[in-house]
Amino acid sequence: MINVGTGQGATVLELTKTFEVASEQPVAFEIAASRLDDVAASLVDPSKAKRLLGWQAEHNLKDICDSAWKWQSQNPNVYGKIDH
């Protein structure tokens, strides 16, 4: 198995806030107590990918959220209509 992440962890709240910046819209969320099986942290070491494949991630969390929002904005109906 080869992990291809950046090696930089992010919390769910950091991801949420970064996506709010990318989308220029608020993201609804609720802070709640941890569930029984929630892990405290999950980090990976991507050095094996660099060593074996000569590859390393070049983008950060902001880049990823910007790219995801750009794609979704250009493809608004790809998942069908969502009724709220």
Which residue ranges form the domains of the chain, and what is each CATH number? 12-33+41-74 (3.90.25.10)
- Taking alpha carbons only, the member of 56, 34, 36, 59 closest to residue 44 is 56
Return d(Cα 42, Cα 7) in angstroms, integer: 10
Rounded to two decimals, what is the model's pTM? 0.77
pLDDT digits (tens, 9 = 90+) for 38-75: 888 887 889 999 999 999 999 999 999 999 999 999 99
pLDDT at 66: 97
pLDDT at 81 over 80: no
At 42 the pLDDT is: 81
pLDDT exceeds 60 at position 78:
yes
